[in-house]
Amino acid sequence: MVNLETHRVLYDDIALAIAIIPALFIWVTIITAPISIYLSLRHWKSPTSIIPRTKIRFIIAIMLSVVQIAAWFFVFAYIYTGNLF
Amino acid sequence: MVFCVCIYLYGEFILNEAFTYKPLPGKERGKKSFFAVLRTKASLFAGPDHLLSVFNSSYSEDYRRFYFKDIQAIIISRTSEQAKWNAIYGGICLALLLAAYMTGEYWAAAFIAFAAIFLVKLALNWLRGPTCVCRIYTAASRTELPSLARLKNAIKTLDIIKPLIERSQGRLSGEEIKAKMGHVTEETS
């Protein structure tokens, strides 16, 4: 079948950018980390680029976002309990 | 966890090996619009029966296909872009070095650091070789391929795609080319 698509959105790049760029501003990650995970899972099977590409960007985005969420969890745990564990 | 990711990526790699698009030399900034200049990248891929020109603007891609059977000509023209940018980078570098020489010790380091950046850009521009414009002609269009903005990449790409086009369109012998060229000159005169 001939593929005649002329435009594709790169959701993996978007998810990765949402996981990395807000990390520079730290506070924003509380909102962007879950968004990045949502985008990665929502568009896991969406077509990305026509040219050869792996899902490594989605995987890195999810990993970074999980780390950010875990960091926030520890921050809130420290604020409310006074110790981390 | 890391082991699972490695296994998954290996699977992806094997799948992609079977994929039909092969990257061709050359990756340059595509000048789609003034605001996209800094982030639009153009590249070229060879498919089973066509060339795929890709414009990547970070979060989306635009594609253009040129079927091997439709390509009438690929014309490469040398340009003076390399010399122009060499002059610009060299001029800025010299101006910054001059400023470093004229100012005091404190500012000199900053000027020299900036001059070094432009010196690196100058060296890279020089090493990447002469620039060119590559246009692809079909019956319906004449399109510039921004990914082939360096002469050596354009020649390498042409060497790769020439057999693919010949396989699709057939090959003319020397006599046939002369006969056809003679026919064209008769028509134009």
Q: Which residues of A touch B59 (CB under 8 A)?
A: 9-10, 13-14, 17
Q: Which residues of A touch B19 (CB under 8 A)?
A: 52
What is the CATH classification number for the domain harbouring B43? 2.30.29.30
Which stretches of chain B sit within 8 Å of chain A by CB? 5, 8-9, 12-13, 16, 19, 21, 23, 45, 52, 54, 56, 58-65
Spatial neighbors of B119 by CB under 8 A, at least 6 apart, are B89, B93
Instruction: Name the residue among B175, B176, B145, B174 with its Cα closest to residue B25.
Output: B145
Claim to verify: residue B28 and residue B117 sit in the same structural domain: no
Instruction: Name the residue among B152, B142, B133, B134 with its Cα closest to residue B79.
Output: B133
Locate B149 and state its tokens: 């903005």
Q: Which of B17, B61, B62, B67 to mutate to test the interface with A (most CBs of A within 10 A)?
A: B61
CB contact under 8 A, B61 and A49: yes
* pLDDT category of residue B110 using cuts at 50, 70 and 90: confident
> Helix A29-42 crosses helix A11-20 at what angle (to 10 degrees)?
160
CA distance to partner chain B, nearest, from residue A75 (Å): 25
- Closest Cβ–Cβ partner in B9, B23, B63 for A50: B63
Whether B113 is in a domain gets the answer: yes
- Closest Cβ–Cβ partner in A5, A52, A53 for B63: A5
Length of chain B, please? 189
CB contact under 8 A, A10 and B61: yes
Claim to verify: residue B89 and residue B113 sit in the same structural domain: yes
| Higher pLDDT pick, A84 / B146 | B146
Strand order in the sheet with B22-29: A7-9, B60-67, B50-56, B41-46, B22-29
* pLDDT category of residue A69 using cuts at 50, 70 and 90: very high
Q: What is the CA radius of gyration of chain B?
A: 23
Spatial neighbors of B114 by CB under 8 A, at least 6 apart, are B96
Q: Which residues of A touch B54 (CB under 8 A)?
A: 49-51
Judge contact between B143 and B151, C-beta under 8 A. no
**For tokens 């004449």, what's the residue?**
B142
Within chain B, what is the greatest distance between any pair of CA atoms? Answer: 74
Q: Which amino acid is at B108?
A: A
Claim to verify: residue B107 and residue B27 sit in the same structural domain: no
How far apart (Å, rounded) are the C-alpha atoms in residues B44 and B60? 16
Judge contact between A36 and A15, C-beta under 8 A. yes
CB contact under 8 A, B59 and A52: no
Whether B37 is in a domain gets the answer: yes
ipTM value for the complex: 0.80
**pLDDT above 70 for B17:** no
**pLDDT above 70 for A53:** yes
Nearest residue of chain B to residue A51 (CA atoms):
B21
Whether B187 is in a domain gets the answer: no
Claim to verify: residue B42 and residue B29 sit in the same structural domain: yes
Instruction: Name the residue among B35, B61, B26 with its Cα closest to residue B144.
Output: B26
Give exposure, B27-57, as e/b (b: 16+ Cβ within 10 Å): bbebeeeeeeeeebbbbbbbbeebbbbbbbe
CA distance to partner chain B, nearest, from residue A85 (Å): 24
Whether B72 is in a domain gets the answer: yes
Count of domains observed in chain B = 2
Spatial neighbors of B32 by CB under 8 A, at least 6 apart, are B40, B55, B57, B62
**Coil, helix or strand at residue B23:** strand
Whether B188 is in a domain gets the answer: no
CA-angle at B78, arms to B69 and B48, nearest 5°: 25
Within chain A, what is the greatest distance between any pair of CA atoms? Answer: 62
Claim to verify: residue B69 and residue B140 sit in the same structural domain: yes
- Closest Cβ–Cβ partner in B12, B54, B63 for A54: B12
Length of chain A, please? 85
pLDDT > 90: percent of chain A? 68
Whether B9 is in a domain gets the answer: no
On whether any CB of chain B is under 8 Å from the CB of A45, the answer is no
Locate A44 and state its tokens: 């896991």
Which pLDDT tens digit goes with each residue over B31-61? Answer: 544 454 456 889 999 988 899 999 988 889 9
CA distance to partner chain B, nearest, from residue A82 (Å): 31
Domain of residue B64, residue span: 22-79+131-170
What pTM did the predictor assign?
Answer: 0.76
**pLDDT above 80 for B96:** yes
